Amino acid sequence: MHQLSLSPSQRDRRGSRNSFGASLPIPRSKRQSRLSSVHHADGRPQRPGMPPIQPTREILAAQVQDLSGEKVRAAKNMAFVFDIDGVLVHGDRLIPEGQRTLEILNGDNELGIKIPHIFLTNGSGKPEQARVEQLSKILHQPISTEQFIQSHTPMSALAEYYNTVLVVGGEGYRCREVAKKYGFKDIVVPNDIVAWDPTIAPYRVFTPEERATSRPRDFSKINIEAIMVFSDSRDYATDMQIIMDLLQSENGRLWTRAKDPISQRIPIYFSQGDLLCPTEHPYPRMSQGAFRIGLEAMYKALTGEDLERVVYGKPELATYKYADEVIASWMETIHNEEKLPQNIYMIGDNPASDIIGGNQYGWNTCLVRTGVFQGGDNDENNPANFGVFKNVLEAIQTAIKKELGDEFVFKWEDAKVNPLLQGKESSGAIE
């Protein structure tokens, strides 16, 4: 397999379950701030090509912050990283404390300051822009694509390594569109293969609509260079069959069997490894990790060999390194300071991904009881090092008080500011 980069140190390897023992490629280009990437819950448009109108409140907040240097420095030296499902929302339903949490971090606090925060989810299957728009509407808060990392976002770096790839998972052809936005040039999905050869998945009922929207060609003459599982499979039987055929083929060519299944095997990537995920169902449902475990067992049974694979998402190291870059870039966007805060808090509901990953990467970890975790005082195997909280609001308030002081007020009060500064006069002072 193509070695993507040098092996990491032993310290870096400790958080990785990946087979190849290699650091995974992550985008290194500077993330540019784009006003158009911010999505407001009320849908109000931006002013293309023009700077935003600075609200009076921002002017007042700047005056308050000038007189609160120590607290401001502390606020800029902390950041929050949020899991989404089970922390801020349940599917399409708001967890009430999630909205108030973002209001505080977006400036509804005694300093009127924005406290850096990003969203790190093992969710997948949609373009980042579409998911951000959906999340913003649920939470009734503006969210930028520059704050948002879903499981396959770092996989965009793989586009420069492979030309023809099989992309698996997600609804319809959404993941094909995601891969196209990432820069992948020749994208194959399972439906294309079934349309070319229906016998490859003998139990699949292929509808006329699916046939009409697929892109069949002679895949016996095409080398598929890598398999990318972007999202949860919607058809385990078909997807597993096609993946197994490719893993046993000669360099990714269907209708062939490799003489040496190791040296001729194409690489396979998974966007995340969660075994379970919270949904609107009373109990968590199986996720991409379950699909991967099934493939590994099937491959072992058929070949006698262990399946080498690469897993992104939480708790894998590459995803956390990418998150560092996103936090630093977002700091520059909101505070004109491109630096990584020292005190980073990961807030999640899944000890096996959110908490173990944050612990291994050196973050402060907060476990909430609104999602996967429903246990006792803390998780026995992967305990949160900062604590267990009833909900996300309790977690961020506890963290902010630790960094900014117990007396910190989680509400912006215009009454504390001289009315002369509220647009009635050109000058004034803080009372």
Answer with the residue of higher pLDDT: 41 or 322: 322
For residue 52, pLDDT over 70 is answered with: no
Predicted confidence band of residue 414 (pLDDT cuts 50, 70, 90): low
Predicted confidence band of residue 372 (pLDDT cuts 50, 70, 90): confident
Alpha helices in 273-340 (DSSP H): 288-303, 317-335
pLDDT at res. 88: 97
Residue range 89-118: mean pLDDT, rounded: 94
pLDDT at res. 261: 79
Neighbours of 110 (CB within 10 A): 18
- SS in 3 state form for 392-412? HHHHHHHHHHHHHCCCCCCCC
pLDDT at res. 51: 55
Answer with the residue of higher pLDDT: 184 or 49: 184
Residue range 116-143: mean pLDDT, rounded: 95
Q: Three-state DSSP class for 196?
A: helix
Residues 69-85: tens digit of each pLDDT: 788 999 999 999 999 99
Predicted confidence band of residue 68 (pLDDT cuts 50, 70, 90): low
Token pair belonging to 375: 């246990």
CB of 303 closer than 8 Å to CB of 261: yes
For residue 60, pLDDT over 60 is answered with: yes
**Whole-structure pTM over 0.85, yes or no?**
no
In whole angstroms, give the CA distance from residue 214 to residue 191. 6
Residues 27-48: tens digit of each pLDDT: 554 454 443 345 556 555 454 5
Residue 314 has φ and ψ, to the nearest 5°, of -70, 135
Predicted confidence band of residue 21 (pLDDT cuts 50, 70, 90): very low
Quote the Cα angle for 182-246-2, to 5°.
Answer: 60
% of the chain residues with pLDDT over 70: 80
pLDDT at res. 41: 60
Residue range 247-266: mean pLDDT, rounded: 93
Structural domains of the chain sorted by starting position, each given as residue range(s) with its CATH number in brackets: 54-150+318-421 (3.40.50.1000), 153-311 (3.40.50.1000)
For residue 22, pLDDT over 90 is answered with: no
105-119, 175-189, 213-227, 401-415: the lowest-pLDDT one:
401-415
Answer with the residue of higher pLDDT: 26 or 179: 179
Predicted confidence band of residue 175 (pLDDT cuts 50, 70, 90): very high
For residue 199, pLDDT over 60 is answered with: yes
For residue 364, pLDDT over 60 is answered with: yes
